Amino acid sequence: MSRAPFILVEQMTEDGVLKVAKNEVGHLVKVLRAGSGFRITAFDGQGNGWLAEVSTLRGRNNPPTEISALPFENDLICKILETLPAESPGRLRLSVGVGIVKGSRMDGAVEKASELGTETFIPLLTDRTVVKPGAGKVERWRNIALASAKQSRRLQLMGIASPVSLKEFICSSLKNCNNIWVMHNGNGTRHITDLFREIELPIALTVLIGSEGGFSDLEIDCFRNSEIPLVNMGCRPLRTETAVAVSLGTLINFAAGV
């Protein structure tokens, strides 16, 4: 894949050109000093990508050189040079539900989940959650997921779900409990690699990880009553963001060897 900068685009016009996402224009113009002819790897966040170049730069002193009649005032327009192969899902489609933790640790969990190709990140309000994020925090996580996608050069953005209580999430998932694994270091658990070898993995799997201190005893009882597997990654308790990286990385690597 081209090493041109990864840039998110909002849409393709009927004329077959790309409109750069609003929050990406400033980075292109001010940081990358993009002008007409500047090449980018454009992606739509849905698994599609293109090698493209800037052809019309509105709102600056330099006049547009091509496609000047397009009605995109103050927008940056790019023409497609090459369509890249669509990004296909891996053997195992992963989502992760994470008990909300304070500050940068949650940011780190979002970043690592995105880098590892996770489809959806679900912020969970658990018994041990001490903060309830507002819309601004959720938007921050979406921006982190975007930056991480660009860094890891993935064409599909990881979705960030709205925060939901663990109870509501379990109730809404009762029909698909076989597709959920809970990371837990207590008694009555199975090692993640042993369980992986012993069962036929579903196409899609959601991994649940608690906040600092893990899930409460009541939550663990709820998982057991719902027959949701409790899985460990060894004897050492891990930080939330570490558990995200280790569990997802382990599953991805095992699935790749199937």
Q: Give mean pLDDT, residues 250-257.
A: 81
Mean local confidence (pLDDT), 227-245: 89
- Residue 236 has a pLDDT of 83
pLDDT in tens, 8-39: 998 777 777 899 998 898 888 888 888 889 99
Strand partners, 80: 52
Whether 250 and 131 map to the same domain: the answer is yes
| 141 in any annotated domain | yes
| CATH number of domain containing 168 | 3.40.1280.10
Alpha helices by DSSP H, 91-215: 104-115, 135-152, 166-172, 192-198
Q: Please, where are the H alpha helices in 153-234?
A: 166-172, 192-198, 217-225
Same domain, 21 and 110: no
* % of residues, the chain, pLDDT over 70: 89
Domain count, the chain: 2
Q: Is 118 a residue whose pLDDT tops 50?
A: yes
Q: Among all chains, which residue has been given the structure tokens 């496609």?
A: 67
The yes-or-no verdict on residue 257 having pLDDT over 70 is no
Cα separation, 141 vs 75, in Å, equals 25
Q: Let me know if residue 88 belongs to a domain.
A: no
Provide the pLDDT for residue 94.
Answer: 93
Q: What is the pTM of this model?
A: 0.87
Residue 69 has pLDDT above 60, yes or no: no
- Domain holding 19, by residue range, is 6-83
Residue 51, classed as helix, strand or coil, is: strand
Name the domain boundary from 31, 60, 83: 83
- CATH number at 27 reads 2.40.240.20
Classify 195 in phi/psi space as left (phi over 0), alpha (psi -120 to 50) or beta.
alpha
Across residues 102-111, what is the average pLDDT?
92
Identify whether residues 151 and 75 lie together within a single domain.
no
Amino acid 57: pLDDT: 64
| 122 & 235 share domain | yes
Question: Are 49 and 177 members of one domain?
Answer: no
Residues 6+ apart with CB under 8 A from 146: 8, 45, 157
Q: Are 119 and 217 contained in the same domain? A: yes
In this structure, the answer to whether residues 123 and 224 fall within a common structural domain is: yes
In this structure, the answer to whether residues 166 and 69 fall within a common structural domain is: no
